[in-house]
């Protein structure tokens, strides 16, 4: 059942990404920030996929990097930097708001403090780990994407596949160690299944991207 839900989740992220892309640059900014928030909030939920214990936030992480690659392809490095700044500032702001929210003493009729504490207490650590891993992996992605664009004749789809695969290996490794160590049952399982699913997703998305984005950009192979 989880495997089917995960496939549907991947498809839905693709559909949402294509819809936000029709809004142009603001839509890509919004989708990136939305995915960043949701990925950091949802990453603690552990599920069993194909016999491995892992998290189910990988499609959201790929949504961020896909949006950044499309921004770099069609709007340039400055647009990517602006989007990264939006992601960083929004995650930092959200972390500070969470601290205030948890500090309030709940009323005697409140029944949600325990749930909020369990869900949001690791948020500052997760957000900080997410920022570090995203920054490092995106810098690598930007360099690779620019080099491939300037020194090769590969199409956007192929460049996107190569860059996403490299950046996701870095991002997944850094975030698993810095953000999830001690919070999940098995970090190796999380890293292994996360990379496997991301690779399949990237390959599928690169194959069908012309169908998703042909109304807005020329990304045909």
pLDDT score for 30: 92
> At what angle are helices 113-120 and 77-103 packed, to 10 degrees?
140
For 43, 52, 146, 192, the CA distances from 189, given in Å and listed in that order, are: 14, 6, 33, 5
Estimate to the nearest angstrom the gap between the alpha carbon of 157 and the chain centroid.
Answer: 18
pLDDT tens for the chain, residues 1 to 221: 887 888 888 888 878 888 888 888 898 999 999 998 888 777 777 788 777 777 777 788 778 877 877 887 778 778 888 888 888 888 888 878 888 888 888 888 888 888 888 777 776 777 777 777 777 877 787 788 778 878 877 777 777 778 877 877 887 787 777 777 776 666 777 777 777 777 777 776 666 555 544 444 433 33
Through-space distance between the first and last CA atoms of the chain, rounded to whole angstroms: 34
For 22, 54, 90, 172, the CA distances from 176, given in Å and listed in that order, are: 33, 11, 22, 6
pLDDT in tens, 159-210: 777 887 787 788 778 777 777 777 666 677 777 777 777 777 777 666 655 5
H/E element, 47: strand 46-49
pLDDT score for 217: 42
Q: Look at residues 62, 51, 86 and name the one whose alpha carbon lies nearest to residue 12.
A: 62
| SS3 label, residue 211 | helix
What does pTM read for this prediction?
A: 0.68
pLDDT score for 210: 52
Q: Quick count: other Cβ atoms within 10 Å of Cβ 85?
A: 10
């Amino acid at each position: 059942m989880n495997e089917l839900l995960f496939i549907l989740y991947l498809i839905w992220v693709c559909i949402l990404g294509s819809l936000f892309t029709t809004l142009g640059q603001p839509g890509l900014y919004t989708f990136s920030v939305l995915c960043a928030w949701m990925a950091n909030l949802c990453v603690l939920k552990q599920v069993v996929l194909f016999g491995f214990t892992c998290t189910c936030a990988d499609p959201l992480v790929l949504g961020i990097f896909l949006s950044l690659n499309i921004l770099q392809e069609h709007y340039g490095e400055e647009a990517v930097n602006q989007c990264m700044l939006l992601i960083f500032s929004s995650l930092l702001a959200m972390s500070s708001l969470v601290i205030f929210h948890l500090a309030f003493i709940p009323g005697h009729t409140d029944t949600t403090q325990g749930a909020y504490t369990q869900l949001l207490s690791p948020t500052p650590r997760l957000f900080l780990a997410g920022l570090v891993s995203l920054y490092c992996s995106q810098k690598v992605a930007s360099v690779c994407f620019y080099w491939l664009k300037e020194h090769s004749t590969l199409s956007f789809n192929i460049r996107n596949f190569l860059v996403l695969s490299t950046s996701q290996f870095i991002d997944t490794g850094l975030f698993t160690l810095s953000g999830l160590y001690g919070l999940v049952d098995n970090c190796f399982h999380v890293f292994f299944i996360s990379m496997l699913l991301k690779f399949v997703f990237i390959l599928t998305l690169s194959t069908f991207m012309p169908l998703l984005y042909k109304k807005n950009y020329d990304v045909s192979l």
